[in-house]
Structure 1
């Protein structure tokens, strides 16, 4: 007999079944649809015209800037996006973060969203974050830590980080993506596991 807890756990993932693919220009219509969802737009506050998506995601897709946009897939279907960069590649943001917490040399930074509405609330956020952390340790051997600033009002986002093993290491004011939010951000950090 299955319990309500068993049913709630169905469809959840540990991240081992997540496959990664770099976003390309062919994915821009999908990204645009995701950014238009109310629950994504609330926190990302991104322009959703085709031109705006091409402007903001194009340089990464073409390898013209150091950040990377990765689609997370399950069963060959994209459900989420993770942006990954090295903090040092964005000096102005590194300076802003350094005003709140010590940022270790070689630190990486992530941003993320679950774009597929059917995938929300199924444990995929923490699994996706943890899977990208593991990918980062494998691929960026000089990455000492991953730091992620999250607007304090976005409880769902920072809870996903905690479930993925991140620890809150500071809080302070940063410019929010959405101007309706207060500037208070929580900064989370995950250090490279020993031996990796």
Structure 2
């Protein structure tokens, strides 16, 4: 595996994010608007530090390859409630969401490496974090398999609002606890 690192998203990355979000393998699950205004609306506040989430670019040997977001679940009360309806949520829990940008980079373990590396970094960056939770729509087998390979375990399943309205609400919830 090549060197996997992260850096915070900047506005200079917005055109690439828009391009990635438009790729069918990303758009299928993220269902995101890709206009410059929409990308600014959805990522600009995190870049400015006025949104509590952290958006990171995955770099593979220095080349931008994906996006991973990290948030404290307590900062998003509606999401906290949705998780809490399905599983125990310890105070200080973090959630992540992610995608690999270029389709040719999927299927080679990069998603697993990205998830595992950011979780490992979370234990250092956010020492009060007891656990990381991830909800994934049940139909997104590639995503939940990457979580399993990264060491997360399925702890719940149930209805949550899907990102894409074409999806069934059934989600799997994965968890890893601080070692």
- Regarding TM over 0.5, the answer is yes
Query: What is the Cα deviation at residue 105 of structure 1?
Result: 1.0
> How far, CA to CA, are the matches of 2:159 and 2:27 in structure 1?
21
Q: Which residue of 2 aligns with 1:137?
A: 123
Q: Which residue of 2 aligns with 1:5?
A: none
Q: Which residue of 2 aligns with 1:120?
A: 106
Q: Which runs of 5+ in 1 are unaligned?
A: 1-11
Runs of 4+ in 1 over 4 A off after TM superposition: none
Aligned residues: 179
Q: 2:25 aligns with which of 35, 39, 46?
A: 39
2:26 is equivalent to residue 30 of structure 1? no
Q: 1:185 aligns with which of 168, 171, 179?
A: 171
Q: 2:39 aligns with which of 53, 70, 82?
A: 53
Q: Give SS of 1:109's match.
A: strand
> How far, CA to CA, are the matches of 1:153 and 1:122 in structure 2?
20
Query: What is the Cα deviation at residue 18 of structure 1?
Result: 0.9
2:174 is equivalent to residue 168 of structure 1? no
Q: Which residue of 2 aligns with 1:90?
A: 76
Q: Which runs of 5+ in 2 are unaligned?
A: none
RMSD across aligned positions (CA): 0.8
Query: What is the Cα deviation at residue 118 of structure 1?
Result: 2.6
TM-score (norm 1): 0.90
> How far, CA to CA, are the matches of 1:96 and 1:20 in structure 2?
29
Q: 1:157 aligns with which of 121, 138, 143?
A: 143
Q: Give SS of 2:92's match.
A: coil
TM-score (norm 2): 0.98
> How far, CA to CA, are the matches of 1:176 and 1:85 in structure 2?
18
Q: Which residue of 2 aligns with 1:146?
A: 132
Q: Give SS of 2:98's match.
A: strand
Q: Give SS of 2:166's match.
A: coil
